[in-house]
């Protein structure tokens, strides 16, 4: 399995579908920035 192409389709307990996938390279920095922002909140 190539981790960069990981994709799983699941169903939540309430019946809603959810897609779980690997981060794309362009999303990696956005995710890092979001985490840093959350850590700086009071």
- Region 11-31: what's the mean pLDDT? 95
- Comparing CA positions, the residue from 5, 32, 10, 33 lying closest to residue 21 is 5
> Residue 22's pLDDT is what?
94
- Region 14-31: what's the mean pLDDT? 94
Position 1 confidence tier, pLDDT thresholds 50, 70, 90? confident
Q: Which domain holds residue 36?
A: 3-40
Position 7 confidence tier, pLDDT thresholds 50, 70, 90? very high
> Residue 17's pLDDT is what?
98
How many folded domains does the chain comprise? 1
Residue 42 reports pLDDT greater than 90 = no
């Amino acid at each position: 399995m190539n981790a960069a192409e990981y994709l799983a389709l699941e169903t939540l307990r309430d019946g809603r579908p959810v897609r779980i996938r690997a981060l794309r390279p362009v999303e990696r920095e956005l995710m890092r920035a979001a985490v840093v922002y959350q850590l700086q909140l009071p």
